[in-house]
Amino acid sequence: MENKEQYLTFALTKGRLADKTLALLAKVGLECKEMEDKNSRRLVFVNEESKTRFFLAKAPDVPTYVEYGVADIGVTGKDTIMEEERRVFEVLDLKLGKCRMCVCGPAQARELLEHHELIRVASKYPVIARDYFYNHKFQTVDIIKLNGSVELGPIVGLSDVIVDIVETGSTLRENGLEVLEEICPLSARMIVNQVSMRMKNERIRELVSSLRKLIDAEEGK
């Protein structure tokens, strides 16, 4: 039997994604009013009534908290989940923050990609970039890790192309770059600790099932 007194702990990605996730959770009965106070600097919030705990973390740390079991459940982007390669179960697509992981660059870089040249690829996502070029395209490339504003890479001549997230495409347009190849679609996902999945199975299954119904209903609107 599951212990109903046990808390279910969520690690959420700080910022807009946490706000959207909390709105979804509230609709399936898991509210956390205290978290709505935008001026609060608190990081952990407890709802005694629903026996839930929430904490806010930086995106790349969410899969870490979940793998180590300090959070039963995490919500973060598919990009982060792929990049961090943590041992967690991905159980649900929340269909929030939809965007794409792409190879981008100036139009003339298209030829370098077609001819499988030894190019330089700048990215905040070296694991995803390496996997795409080495395992899917069988192209040897030089990967350079950057920490943001990756579009600078081809502009200042550090790299031939970049692997980055494209949402509206305006950052690319404003910098004279374009999408050259699409790697995969992205959105926020729910991940679960492997032990929690067994020990708190009933609660987690119920939650995932109500969320799935809600998301499907909202999509069908």
For residue 100, what are its two tokens? 């794409």
Contact segment (CB under 6 A) with ligand PRP among 52-60, 62-70, 161-169, 175-183 equals: 161-169
For residue 60, what are its two tokens? 């790349």
Residue 142 CA to residue 117 CA, distance in Å, equals 10
The least distance separating ligand PRP from the CB of residue 169, rounded to whole angstroms, comes to 5
The least distance separating ligand PRP from the CB of residue 89, rounded to whole angstroms, comes to 26
Which segments within the chain are labelled E, that is strand?
Answer: 8-13, 44-47, 52-57, 73-77, 89-93, 99-105, 120-123, 142-145, 161-166, 178-186, 188-192
Contact segment (CB under 6 A) with ligand PRP among 71-79, 167-175, 192-200, 206-214 equals: 167-175
Contact segment (CB under 6 A) with ligand PRP among 28-36, 46-54, 58-66, 164-172 equals: 164-172
Q: Which is nearer to ligand PRP, 53 or 78 (CB)?
A: 78
Q: Which amino acid is located at 143 in the chain?
A: I
Q: Which of 169, 175, 187, 215 binds ligand PRP (CB under 6 A)?
A: 169
Q: At CA 133, angle to CA 171 and CA 179, rounded to 5?
A: 25
Residues making contact with ligand PRP (CB under 6 A): 124, 148-151, 164-171
